[in-house]
Amino acid sequence: MRLELVKRPQQSKLYSALSPFIAFGLTLVAGAFLFAMLGKNPALGLYTYFVEPLTELWSLHELAVKAAPLILIAVGLSVCFVSNNWNIGAEGQFTIGAITGAALPLYFPDAQTIALLPAMLVCGALGGAVYAAIPALLKARFNTNEILTSLMLVYVAQLFLDWLVRGPWRDPAAMSFPQAPAFSSWATLPELFPMSGRANWGIVFALVAALVVWFMLSRTLKGFEIRVIGQSPRAGRFGGFSTARTIVFAFLVSGALAGLAGIAEVSGAIGRLQPQISPGYGFAAIIVAFLGRLNPLGIVAAGFVLALSYLGGEAAQIAVGVTDKTVRAFQGILLFFVLACDTLIHYQIRIVRRAPLSEPASLSTETAHGHG
Amino acid sequence: MGMAEAILLTVATAATPLLIAAIGELVVERSGVLNLGVEGMMLMGAVAGFGAAIMSGSAWIGVFAGLLTGALFSLLFAFLALTLVTNQVATGLALTLLGIGMSGMIGESFVGMPGVKLRVLDLPVISDIPLIGRLLFGQDPFFYISIGLVAGVMWFLFRTRAGLTLRSVGDSHTSAHALGIRVVLIRYCAVMFGGACAGLAGAQLSLVYTTQWIENMTAGRGWIALALVVFASWRPLRVLVGAYLFGAITIMQLHVQAVNMADLVSLPGPLYWLVSVLKSAPSQLLSALPYLATIVVLVIISRNRRLTIMNTPASLGRPFVPDR
């Protein structure tokens, strides 16, 4: 028995819409097995992971807090992935964005005005974009593999942040904790509804970014250019589109959004710079981008799903007694199923039985000749 | 044991996991498949090797557990990328993300536990030959495995018919298929070999290099191994050179911080100056050196576009669906 793929004449519209749902369903099944293997009640585990966080108002706020960076980063990544540029260093661009944005209040402590926060957000986005420009320019100019360079820069950015908060930017008042001073109220991203929970303006930025990028990708010439270059660079060149310009553009957009996510995270949810500012948002956003089928509107939904997994992981630690490390395992399994299900869009999968197996045993001598 | 000898020994220990993982990935890429899951497979090998070793008490059982886990874990990638023809870049990334998650989950209970160290070779008399004795005859088994792998892969790829077949699959899967070569089967084997090597490299980290389990303990070595394959333009001997170069950079940043400048006055001027500059640099900058070096090396190699195109397996990363 083996699997055989038959190319569909056209992409299947049905499976384009269904595949993320099938993948999520399969992940739940795999998750149930995982819980059972760990000796936990699968029903309770899945409930704690994927339902319980939705039952209370404050945890809906937390969901928005976690979804905001995931959506912002993933929307940017979709521009890269659609144009066939593999930016996997969003975690680093996120970190640099947080640093460049936070530099403003640290270096200009007297500038306590209403303009401070917008300036910080702009600086964060710029920082992320500049950092993403490194792998982009190296790819455009020297054809250097952007996957490896962008990833290496993640480690560099994290070490840079580590040095800053333990060295020059360390808060002298924080005793032995390696952290920068807390942001003033002018430098803090305001909460949307402070009465009921922590959700801040980050989620609004994320939704706006998703809409803008969706419009750009699907309704403008620039979006068309990005898609053509992504599918066939040769066709793009005949159309007069520049591959190098597209590389740089895609990286700048995704770097800027990752940087914005970074500064929004430290200024909103965390409140200061510290050695650890992300539970792997930059990598989880890759999963978000694929689960959303590289469509910014789909990414919004996918961002909430992954945010739910983070919240569920925290809840399951207490309620079910599994380590919060299960979150990343879950997320990895989800990406596998998403990719596997995407095959259904382009191919029909047929299960073929080998002929010799179905023949009676008495014919074995002939089958040996006939089928080799 | 002299200072120089001690440093060379630690360089070999730091280079060996890079070498083993990279030589495995070289075979995978020669067959036309790009598996970016090296980091994840290494982590799975590291955690499985560590766990099996402390449960059985035998480091050798850990070695085999690492190897086997790497090979089995790579099957996940192979099934998706080869049978379901998913995008190889995305699938490799998925393997790495899954490996990070799974190994963290499995290894949770191992954190802080003392591991089992694989013993170094110790032959009477010859291991004690000054200078070369320890280097050649007094290292851990992984060192000999890594050198054996390089020699074996060179022989296999360039001196055997099967190796020629594997390279032909990597250079043109359609032609190979037309000649009746079972492209997918060969690629499955290559991917599993790469997985076994990555698992072995991971086991080296948790059985020799540190002898404990730390979450994410590979710290990007899987990615550096991938870069080494590009750096080596898909040639086994150059992978060896590259791995030792990176081993040296890793060790240098560790030693520079501990070194006493007064001991180095005999060094030539520029070298003395370089060491003193590095010594005064923040430790984070030194830790970033291997990553920065990877970028620099990749840029230098890829600048020569013609050479890169000539050496890259022509079908690398391309999807293949056999027509029937």
Least confidently predicted of B4-8, B204-208, B234-238, B263-267 = B263-267
CB contact under 8 A, B98 and A325: no
Q: How confident is the model at residue A361 (pLDDT cuts 50, 70, 90)?
A: very low
Whole-number Cα distances in Å, B205 to B46, B126, B223: 6, 27, 15
Q: Given B90, B219, B220, which is nearest A339 (Cβ)?
A: B90
In the stretch 127-166 of chain A, residues with CB closer than 8 A to chain B read 138, 142-145, 147-149, 151-153, 155-156, 159-160, 162-163
Average pLDDT score over residue span B113-136: 75
Condensed to tens digits (0 to 9), the pLDDT of residues A166-185 reads 989 998 887 778 899 999 99
Residue of B215, B289, B298 to mutate, interface with A, max A Cβ within 10 Å = B298
pLDDT of residue A363: 42
Q: Which residues of A touch B296 (CB under 8 A)?
A: none
Average pLDDT score over residue span A310-321: 85
Whether the per-residue pLDDT at B267 is higher than 90: the answer is: no
Q: How far is A36 from chain B (nearest CA, A)?
A: 15
Instruction: Find residue A347's DSSP bridge partners.
Output: A7
What mean pLDDT is reported for chain A? 89
Whether the per-residue pLDDT at B169 is higher than 90: the answer is: yes
Are the C-beta atoms of residues A90 and A282 closer than 8 Å to each other? yes
A4: contact with B, CB 8 A cutoff: yes
Residue of B74, B80, B98 to mutate, interface with A, max A Cβ within 10 Å = B98
Q: Is A366 within the bounds of a domain?
A: no
Q: How far is B22 from chain A (nearest CA, A)?
A: 14
Whether the per-residue pLDDT at B275 is higher than 90: the answer is: no
Name the token pair of B66.
Answer: 């690492």
Q: Given B84, B294, B321, which is nearest A340 (Cβ)?
A: B84
Q: Is B77 within the bounds of a domain?
A: yes
Are the C-beta atoms of residues A343 and B90 closer than 8 Å to each other? no
Q: Is A70 within the bounds of a domain?
A: yes
Average pLDDT score over residue span B177-202: 96
Q: Which residues of B touch A159 (CB under 8 A)?
A: 284-285, 287-288
Helix or strand or coil: residue B113?
Answer: coil
Are the C-beta atoms of residues B206 and B67 closer than 8 Å to each other? no
| Burial (CB count within 10 angstroms: exposed 0-12, middle 13-18, buried 19+), residue B290 | buried
Q: Is B243 within the bounds of a domain?
A: yes
Q: Is B320 within the bounds of a domain?
A: no
Least confidently predicted of A113-127, A212-226, A253-267, B250-264 = B250-264
CATH number, domain of B235, equals 1.10.3470
Whether the per-residue pLDDT at A4 is higher than 90: the answer is: no
CB contact under 8 A, B298 and A144: yes
Residue of B302, B303, B310, B324 to mutate, interface with A, max A Cβ within 10 Å = B302
Q: Which residue has the higher pLDDT, B305 or A334?
A: A334
pLDDT of residue A118: 96
Q: Is B317 within the bounds of a domain?
A: no
Give residue B300's domain range: 3-311
Average pLDDT score over residue span A136-164: 95
| Burial (CB count within 10 angstroms: exposed 0-12, middle 13-18, buried 19+), residue B40 | buried
Q: Give the whole-number percent of chain B exceeding pLDDT 90.
A: 63
Average pLDDT score over residue span A206-211: 97
Q: Is A368 within the bounds of a domain?
A: no
pLDDT of residue B243: 95
Q: Given B93, B100, B298, which is nearest A88 (Cβ)?
A: B93
pLDDT of residue B1: 52
Max mean pLDDT among A1-10, A226-235, B269-278 falls in A226-235
Q: How far is A333 from chain B (nearest CA, A)?
A: 6
Condensed to tens digits (0 to 9), the pLDDT of residues A31-58 reads 899 889 888 888 988 898 889 889 889 9
Q: Is A369 within the bounds of a domain?
A: no
Q: Is B318 within the bounds of a domain?
A: no
The total domain count for chain A is 1
What mean pLDDT is reported for chain B? 89
What type of residue is A244? A
Our measurement of the distance from residue B173's CA atom to the centroid of its chain's CA atoms, rounded to an integer in Å, reads 26
Whether the per-residue pLDDT at B115 is higher than 60: the answer is: yes
Are the C-beta atoms of residues A284 and A290 closer than 8 Å to each other? no
Q: Is A336 within the bounds of a domain?
A: yes
Average pLDDT score over residue span A117-129: 97
Q: How confident is the model at residue B155 (pLDDT cuts 50, 70, 90)?
A: very high
Name the token pair of B264.
Answer: 């180095």
CA angle B167, B168, B172 (to 5 degrees): 120
A369: contact with B, CB 8 A cutoff: no
Average pLDDT score over residue span B280-300: 90
Q: How confident is the model at residue A64 (pLDDT cuts 50, 70, 90)?
A: very high
The total domain count for chain B is 1
Name the token pair of A84.
Answer: 């066939």
Q: Is B60 within the bounds of a domain?
A: yes
pLDDT of residue B17: 96
Whether the per-residue pLDDT at B67 is higher than 90: the answer is: yes
Instruction: Find residue A7's DSSP bridge partners.
Output: A347
In the stretch 218-237 of chain B, residues with CB closer than 8 A to chain A read 219-220, 223, 226-227, 230
Are the C-beta atoms of residues B40 and B73 closer than 8 Å to each other? yes
Are the C-beta atoms of residues B217 and B210 closer than 8 Å to each other? yes
Q: Which residues of B touch A340 (CB under 8 A)?
A: 80, 84, 86
Whether the per-residue pLDDT at A354 is higher than 70: the answer is: no
CA distance B65 to B146: 17
Q: How confident is the model at residue A1 (pLDDT cuts 50, 70, 90)?
A: low
CB contact under 8 A, B85 and A335: no
A49: contact with B, CB 8 A cutoff: no
Q: Is A371 within the bounds of a domain?
A: no
**Strand intervals (E) in B82-231:** none
Q: How confident is the model at residue A365 (pLDDT cuts 50, 70, 90)?
A: very low
Q: Is A11 within the bounds of a domain?
A: yes
Q: How confident is the model at residue A367 (pLDDT cuts 50, 70, 90)?
A: very low
Q: Which residues of A touch B302 (CB under 8 A)?
A: 138, 142-145
Buried b (16+ CB within 10 A) or exposed e, A293-322: bbbbbbbbbbbbbbbbbbbbbbbbbebbeb
CATH number, domain of A87, equals 1.10.3470
CB contact under 8 A, A331 and B101: yes
**H runs (alpha helix) in A83-195:** 90-107, 116-142, 146-166
Task: Give the residue on A whose Cα is nearest the Cα of B284.
Answer: A159
Alpha carbon distance, N-terminus to C-terminus of chain B: 64
CA distance A45 to A55: 15
Whether the per-residue pLDDT at B271 is higher than 80: the answer is: no
CA distance A324 to A321: 9
Whether the per-residue pLDDT at A320 is higher than 60: the answer is: yes
In the stretch 261-320 of chain A, residues with CB closer than 8 A to chain B read 283, 286-287, 290
Q: How confident is the model at residue B2 (pLDDT cuts 50, 70, 90)?
A: low
Task: Give the residue on B whose Cα is nearest the Cα of A2.
Answer: B83
Name the token pair of A298.
Answer: 């789909």
pLDDT of residue A246: 94
Give residue A321's domain range: 2-358
Whether the per-residue pLDDT at A319 is higher than 60: the answer is: yes
